[in-house]
Structure 1
Amino acid sequence: MNPPRRRTSQPPTNLQMSDIARLAGVSESTVSRALKDSPLIAASTRERIRRLAEEAGYVVNPVASSLRSRQSGVITVAVPLVHAREPHLFDPFMMTMLAHLADALGDRGYNMLLAKIAVHQDGWVRRLQQPGRSDGVILIGQSSEHAAINEAARTGIPLTAWGTRMPAQKYPVVGTDNRLGGQLGTEHLIRHGRRRIAFLGDERLPEVAHRHDGYRQALRAAGLKAHPDLLVRSPFSSGDAYASVRALIDGGADFDGVMAASDVIAISAIRAITESGRRVPQDVSVVGFDDILLAEHAHPPLTTVRQELAQGAVKLVDTVIAAIRGEQAESTILPPTLIVRASA
């Protein structure tokens, strides 16, 4: 008579992820994400897969897992500042967007790698996304680098950008309807009796170009002229913006309204205007763009065109994750909102 077979509590040691996938009736990629506690997988599915893996004695080998997936759990967030004379990251708009992106990435189980692009170098976008270092790229702004971003998109790099649609664009963007925003702000100035309205911002940049288009459209619709001497190519930095408006005033320009391409430019314009002895809004009305936190605390509180940055950050993250997963990533254009305060 044969002795009874002894049971062992030792689980098999040669289980593969494919075995767990077969037991769970899902793909290996789903198992991988579930065992990494990815929010891309439903909580009930994550729990079921974890339980099956535990019962089967499957243990994730982190080195092998990384080599298999070639995914790092990191997304690069890059800020192209090639256009800037002094490429700094402390712009309030930029800091707000970075904070929202960090939250959105964290909520989806990703870490953020931050990069600043101060000068153009061929292939800079491709270098931001390397296997094992970064799974995809989010760009805050297009700067003057549309061609470089397009070239990278053609190679299949998972990327998206905060910005505006451009001709022959190969990459998805998330952004505001900038033409409509420029139009809304300018129409508000016109309704308040302003007839010689200055535009402050560098219209050679993609988003600013579309805000300038909206400004010109509103003027045309009202039978007003866009005076060339009232187009001021102001940089985004507060010091440079202030100097640009002071130069406009010191040059004797006649204007009674300002449509600014950003809140920082608008707040700098208010300072320059009041220092020249004019009052805001009694003599000159000022409208900004962004609705950063400082806008409502300006003196006077700033009328501005709001961009939905929190919603935009979520859309950016979802769009690049879709690209990482090989799905069709679509552009999203969000509607602007005119926020009326005391400056216009």
Structure 2
Amino acid sequence: MAPRRTQRDIAERLGLHVTTVSKALRGDERIAQATRERIRREAENIGYVPDPALSSLIAYRQRKSTAYRASIGWIFNHDRQTDMSIFPGYADILRGARERARRLGYAVDEFWLHEDGLSEKRLAAILDTRHIAGVVIAPQMRRGTPLHLPWHRLAAVSIGHTLLEPELPVVATDHFRAMTSLLDTLRKRDYRRIGLALWREDNERMDRRAQSAFLAYSEGLDVTVALYEQLERERFLDWVNKHELDAVVVRDATPLDWLTQAGYRVPEQIGVAAYTLPGEHARLSGIYHNHARVGELAVDRLAQMLQFGERGLPECPDRLLVSASWREGGTVRLSPAMTHPYDNKGRFTEELG
């Protein structure tokens, strides 16, 4: 078996110090780009591959030997005054990211674009001055808003499906599977006429994946989707009555209050489930999106890119989807009601405002 090629081999062949080679292979921008490229070409030529055990040992020693922490940037493409309540679980995403970054030896520096004159150009200069080579792009207010940074110098990961330009590696909830899991649960508990009241902005931010899963479900259910900009009590109740729904999938607890005030018995007469619970423990039954895990994995992916010197826009960005899980509240019955034959009448989408 041929001996493992080392960084020292590369250094000797190129007449460089081994420290220069090590930094270049990690993508350290203090090494000239031409030198980095020459070192990477030589590494490929001689068949050098990193030793994962040695890399782990070096990372451990670095954490033990110094209190210094490199930083990663956490970029909000909106100002600090934005109402973050429209992003359920966002605080959990950031909490998970911070905890994982701390364990990996990184600090997290937050940047709010458009606040106090922070332009994309000024942010790029700040990242360069602070030697921040890795950034996480937080979910954006509006899906499709482009972001212009010197990507050739950065390792970058995006959370969710709101950043379309440029295309970056993504970590997000598996919205399609989450909705399928929710419908599986309702079907097993003998709910058959199910409506989804879906806020348009949520629909766009989820890349329409939850709506697609809902309409594609084919396990003997009669399903209908109502899209809305602003949900109104009377229109919502009329929609429930029109389709004779025995379960509704909603964003928050407001429709639950409307139903109980209108005399519906929940969960016996009608079940209510949330497609995104605000926390792991809530009075609503529904899907919890494991937001903290999304934050953790975003930092993991970024740390991996930094470790291997990956910079710039990838030719084929990867997407890591995080599973969601059902949480019992008190708004979906725990066992099936009396079953009865039922024909699937179809699937519909309509407007609720």
Contact 2:192–2:220 (8 Å) recurs in 1:
no
* Residues 247 and 160 of structure 1, relative CA distance in 2, 3 Å threshold: farther
Give the corresponding residue for 2:107.
111
Offset at residue 315 of structure 1 (A): 1.2
SS at match of 1:131: helix
* One-letter amino acid of the counterpart of residue 276, structure 1: A
Higher-Rg structure is 1
**Correspondences of 1:308-323 after superposition (within 5 Å):** 308-323=290-305
Give the corresponding residue for 1:276.
262
SS at match of 1:27: helix
* Residues 185 and 152 of structure 1, relative CA distance in 2, 3 Å threshold: farther
Tell me which of 166, 181, 185 is aligned to 1:184.
181
SS at match of 1:107: helix
* Residues 304 and 319 of structure 1, relative CA distance in 2, 3 Å threshold: same
SS at match of 1:101: helix
Identity %: 14
Number of aligned residues: 276
Give the corresponding residue for 2:136.
138
* One-letter amino acid of the counterpart of residue 263, structure 2: G
Of structures 1 and 2, the one with the larger relative CO (CA 8 A, separation 6+) is 2
Give the corresponding residue for 2:42.
none
Structure 2: runs of 5+ lacking an equivalent = 1-10, 29-53, 333-353
Distance 1:125 1:321 in 2: 24
* Residues 173 and 280 of structure 1, relative CA distance in 2, 3 Å threshold: same
**Farther off after superposition, 125-134 or 41-50:** 41-50
Distance 2:93 2:141 in 1: 16
Give the corresponding residue for 1:335.
323
* Residues 30 and 160 of structure 1, relative CA distance in 2, 3 Å threshold: closer
Contact 1:24–1:49 (8 Å) recurs in 2:
no
Offset at residue 188 of structure 1 (A): 2.8
> Normalising by structure 1, what TM-score?
0.63
Offset at residue 172 of structure 1 (A): 0.6
* Residues 306 and 131 of structure 1, relative CA distance in 2, 3 Å threshold: same
SS at match of 1:146: coil
Contact 2:113–2:119 (8 Å) recurs in 1:
no
**Correspondences of 1:234-253 after superposition (within 5 Å):** 244-249=231-236, 251=238, 253=240
Offset at residue 178 of structure 1 (A): 0.8
**Farther off after superposition, 151-160 or 107-116:** 151-160
Give the corresponding residue for 2:281.
296
Offset at residue 207 of structure 1 (A): 1.0
Give the corresponding residue for 1:78.
75
Tell me which of 234, 242, 248 is aligned to 1:258.
248
Contact 1:199–1:212 (8 Å) recurs in 2:
no
* One-letter amino acid of the counterpart of residue 309, structure 2: G
Give the corresponding residue for 1:27.
22
**Correspondences of 1:142-153 after superposition (within 5 Å):** 142-146=140-144, 148-149=146-147, 152=149
Distance 1:272 1:118 in 2: 38
Give the corresponding residue for 1:4.
none
